[in-house]
């Protein structure tokens, strides 16, 4: 009998506590992952209606934020469009759009999302030869940091350049890369987890630095997917957790974090439907319009 | 003895002329841009794009000097396997090199699609690199049967 009273009391307490949280505002879904100081910082900063996580007037080489978290759902677990708070991450600040020649000797490394950018650029260069500078691409469908770190072989994912299949850093060196832009993660989170995927990307980026002394590393955030196409592990919530870890190692290692994802999100944190070329399939690839937005973002977030 | 020599000579002459005719009959001709134009009428993927000669080396490692003519029409979305590559080599050895590059490309597509795009991989498995004289082609498309017929018909 006493036990029953105790159980009822606990249930009432939990109910009241949940009610208080609901009234008090947002609790980050990744609350357990955040430091204790993260939540007060988030509350003091408030909601940013703009999708961009970086201050738009920032002209310094890097914009920083005290807030390393993401708010995805209320304590009652109800995900609502109005409730979404974009993550605030350490990232390259915004500036006026620079000339495409900024991308001369740049190499873009990525998966099928970057493959679309490559194809878009290839098409545009037919009529506009200087489009996107002389940037080159090392992209392959299904590529991730994890499989890029694996040894080179006939059956390895490494894309070929000029018909030669090499490790990514070797290809980039052969291409004369002075800047390397990486966007990977969507093929890593499921097999390696959020933390493992981020660690793999850091390892891969370090390989470029070792192989090409003086190279500038720009790591682009993994971009979101349509809300209704999220999987158990590959979800927008996990992509944001991954991006947070990536932005942190960029800060530590002195690399630029280019938060392309911030330009692709709708008000709920998902990929804008009009930017999605495969809404009936994977729900994460880009249209030509999205590529234009992406390129503009790159040219306005150069790291100063 | 004289008669045997004459018979042998006649046989040799016949063989020579026959082989000459045979060689002539295997010589192929086709205007690949026209072939591609005919194929485009049958391709259902509306997100394809043409490649130019400047794309051949970085994308496939195929050198300009090896190519007498070509037509290349590929998917632009990054999510489909469609890729139509038609080449005529400048000679037999050049065609060998082009064939090797297209074999490599086919294998790379297999590696990329196997676990990632199973439906596209299933289509790819039905397609192959084809060699006919100095002509080499890789036709990957859900309409591969129709496109191959167009291609084969064009090689005369």
ipTM for the whole complex: 0.83
**pLDDT, position A88:** 79
How far is A85 from A269, CA to CA, in rounded Å? 8
The verdict on B55 touching A (C-beta cutoff 8 Å) is yes
**Res A29: pLDDT:** 32
Q: Which residue has the higher pLDDT, A46 or B85?
A: B85
Residue of chain A whose alpha carbon sits nearest to that of B76:
A119
Spatial neighbors of A167 by CB under 8 A, at least 6 apart, are A148, A152, A158, A207
* Cβ–Cβ below 8 Å for A116 and B78: yes
Shortest Cα–Cα distance, A175 to chain B (Å): 10
The pLDDT of residue A47 is 26
Q: What is the mean pLDDT of chain A?
A: 80
pLDDT(A46) > 50: no
pLDDT for position B116: 86
Least Cα separation, residue A261 to chain B (angstroms): 19
- Mean pLDDT, residues A13-38 taken together: 34
Q: What is the pLDDT of residue B12?
A: 62
Shortest Cα distance, chain A CAs vs residue B114, angstroms: 9
Say which range, A21-35, A156-170, B40-54, has the weakest mean pLDDT.
A21-35
pLDDT at A271 over 90: yes
Contact A200, A144 (CB under 8 A): yes
Q: Each residue of A162-185: pLDDT tens digit?
A: 999 999 999 999 999 999 999 999
Contact residues, chain B, for A112 at CB < 8 Å: 78-79, 116
- CA-to-CA separations, B30 to B18, B98, B146, in angstroms, rounded: 24, 17, 17
Tell me which chain B residue has its CA closest to the CA of residue A159. B108
Q: Looking at residues A227-254, what average pLDDT do you find?
A: 97
Q: Do B47 and A277 touch (CB under 8 A)?
A: yes
Checking if the pLDDT of B26 tops 80, the result is: no
**pLDDT reported for residue A296:** 98
Helix (H, G, I), strand (E, B) or coil at A231: coil
Task: Quote the pLDDT of residue A90.
Answer: 83
pLDDT at A25 over 70: no
Is A116 an interface residue toward B (CB < 8 Å)?
yes
Closest chain B residue to A113 measured between Cα atoms? B78
Top residue of A107, A117, A119, A172 to mutate, by most chain B CBs within 10 Å, is A119
Rounded to whole angstroms, how far apart are CA atoms A71 and A21? 13
Question: Where does A132-193 show beta strands of DSSP type E?
Answer: 136-139, 160-161, 164-165, 179-183
Provide the pLDDT confidence category of residue A304 given band limits of 50, 70 and 90: confident
Domain ranges of chain B: 28-154
**Closest Cβ opposite residue A141 in set B49, B76, B112:** B112
pLDDT at A235: 97
Selected residues 68-87 of chain A with any CB under 8 Å from a CB in chain B: none
- The DSSP element (H or E) to which A74 belongs, if any, is strand A73-74
Contacts of B83 in chain A (CB under 8 A): none
User: Does an H or E element contain B26, and which?
Assistant: helix B2-26
Q: Do A115 and B49 touch (CB under 8 A)?
A: no
Percent of chain A, pLDDT > 70?
73
Per-residue confidence (pLDDT) for residue B21, from 0 to 100: 47
Six token digits for residue B78: 């990054």
- Average confidence score pLDDT of chain B: 89
Q: Which residues contact A75 (CB under 8 A, 6 or more apart)?
A: A18, A21, A22, A27
Contacts from B12-15 at CB under 8 Å and sequence distance 24+?
Answer: none
A87-96, A209-218, A237-246, B54-63: which range is least confident on average? Answer: A87-96
The token pair that represents A77 in the structure block: 């677990």
Cβ contact B61–A163 (<8 Å):
yes
CA dist B131 → B34, B55, B92, B105, B125 (Å): 19, 22, 11, 15, 17
A288-300 vs A112-125: helix crossing angle, rounded to 10: 90
Q: State the Cα–Cα distance between residues A195 and B150, nearest whole angstrom.
A: 51
Task: Give domain A100-300's CATH superfamily.
Answer: SGNH hydrolase (3.40.50.1110)
Does position B5 have pLDDT exceeding 80, yes or no?
A: no
Q: What is the DSSP string of B63-127?
A: -GGGEEEEEEEEESSSS---EEEEEEESSHHHHHHHHHHHHHHHHHHHHHHTTT-HHHHHHHHT-
Q: Among A112-116, A132-136, B5-9, B26-30, whose mean pLDDT is lowest?
A: B5-9
pLDDT for the residue B2: 64
Contacts of B107 in chain A (CB under 8 A): 154
Look at residue A189 and tell me whether its pLDDT is greater than 70: yes
Q: Do residues A34 and A65 lie in contact, with contact meaning Cβ atoms separated by under 8 Å?
A: no
Confirm or reject contact between B51 and chain A (CB < 8 A): yes
Confidence of residue A37 (pLDDT cuts 50, 70, 90): very low
Sketch the domain layout of chain A as residue ranges. 100-300
d(CA B39, CA A63): 51
- Cβ contacts of residue A74 below 8 Å, gap of 6+? A21, A22, A25, A26, A27, A80, A83
């Amino acid at each position: 009998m006493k036990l029953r009273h105790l159980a009822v009391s606990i249930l009432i307490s939990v109910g009241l506590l949940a009610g208080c949280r609901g009234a008090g505002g947002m609790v980050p879904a990744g609350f357990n992952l955040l430091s204790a100081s993260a939540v007060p910082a988030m509350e003091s900063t408030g909601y940013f209606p703009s999708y961009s996580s970086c201050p738009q007037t920032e002209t310094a080489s890097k914009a920083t934020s005290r807030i390393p978290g993401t708010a995805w759902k209320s304590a009652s677990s109800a995900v609502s469009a109005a409730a979404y708070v974009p993550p605030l991450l350490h990232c390259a600040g915004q500036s006026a759009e620079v000339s495409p020649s900024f991308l001369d000797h740049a190499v873009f490394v990525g998966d099928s999302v970057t493959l679309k950018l490559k194809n878009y650029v290839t098409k545009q260069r037919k009529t506009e030869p200087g489009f996107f500078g002389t940037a080159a691409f090392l992209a392959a469908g299904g590529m991730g940091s994890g499989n890029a770190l694996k040894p080179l072989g006939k059956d390895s994912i490494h894309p070929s350049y000029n018909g030669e299949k090499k490790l990514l850093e070797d290809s980039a060196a052969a291409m004369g890369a002075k800047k390397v832009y990486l966007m990977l993660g969507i093929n890593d989170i499921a097999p390696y987890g959020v933390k493992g995927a981020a660690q793999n990307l850091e390892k891969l980026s370090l390989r470029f630095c070792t192989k090409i002394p003086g190279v500038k590393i720009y790591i682009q955030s993994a971009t979101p997917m349509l809300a209704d196409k999220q999987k158990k592990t590959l979800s927008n919530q996990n992509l944001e957790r991954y991006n947070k870890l990536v932005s942190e190692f960029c800060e530590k290692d002195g690399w630029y974090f280019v938060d392309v994802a911030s330009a692709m999100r709708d008000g709920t944190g998902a990929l804008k439907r009009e930017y999605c070329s495969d809404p009936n399939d994977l729900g994460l690839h880009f249209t030509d319009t999205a590529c234009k937005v992406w390129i503009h973002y790159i040219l306005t977030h150069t790291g100063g | 003895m004289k008669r045997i020599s004459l018979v042998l000579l006649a046989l040799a002459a016949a063989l020579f002329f026959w082989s000459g005719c045979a060689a002539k009959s295997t010589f192929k001709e086709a205007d690949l841009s026209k072939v591609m134009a005919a194929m485009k009428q049958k391709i259902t993927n509306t997100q394809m794009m043409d490649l130019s000669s400047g794309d051949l080396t970085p994308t496939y490692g195929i050198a300009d000097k090896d190519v007498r003519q070509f037509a290349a029409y590929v998917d632009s979305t990054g999510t489909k396997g469609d890729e139509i590559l038609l080449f005529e080599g400048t000679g037999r050895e050049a065609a060998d090199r082009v064939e090797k590059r297209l074999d490599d490309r086919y294998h790379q597509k297999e590696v990329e699609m196997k676990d990632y795009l199973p439906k596209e991989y299933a289509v790819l498995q039905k397609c192959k690199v084809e060699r006919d004289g100095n002509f080499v082609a890789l036709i990957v498309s859900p309409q591969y049967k129709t496109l191959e017929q167009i291609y084969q018909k064009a090689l005369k």
